[in-house]
Amino acid sequence: MHDERGDALADSPAEFDDGSDLEALLAYARAHNPGLQAAFLRWKEALERIPQADSLPNPRLSFGAYLSEVETRTGPMQGRIGLTQPLPWFGKRELKDDVAFEAAEASREMLEATRLELE
């Protein structure tokens, strides 16, 4: 939400006179409005959720130790280690991706509405 000239515009105090043009006033208002900045951060957060929605769930690693040896048909066991990976049903990841994308679009529309209301 900074001007192309960098952070200097955002950090400098407002020095406007009667000759200031409307675009400079609007740029200052957009750069310093906390509601617009919050809407921008909500949109950015929603965008970051899109890749997460399409990813597989985290795998689980389990480890178990027995207090005394357990006899099995293949020999004694002292412990066990397991790794599981949940796999969602067909098309479920794509649906989650679509939902996350639509949520990001809704956040973008809210950002645009906040900007238009400010202007």
- What pLDDT is attached to residue 21? 83
Is the confidence at residue 114, as pLDDT, over 80?
Answer: yes
Interval 39-88: pLDDT, tens: 999 999 999 999 888 888 899 999 998 888 888 888 888 888 999 998 88
- pLDDT tier at 15, thresholds 50, 70, 90: low
- pLDDT tier at 34, thresholds 50, 70, 90: very high
- What pLDDT is attached to residue 6? 45
Tally Cβ neighbours within 10 Å of residue 100: 19
Break the chain into its structural domains and give their ranges. Answer: 1-32, 35-118
Which own/partner pairs from 92-98 qualify as long-range (CB within 8 Å, at least 24 positions apart)? 93/53, 93/54, 93/55, 93/56, 94/54, 96/53, 96/54, 97/50, 97/53, 97/54
Answer with the residue of higher pLDDT: 4 or 80: 80
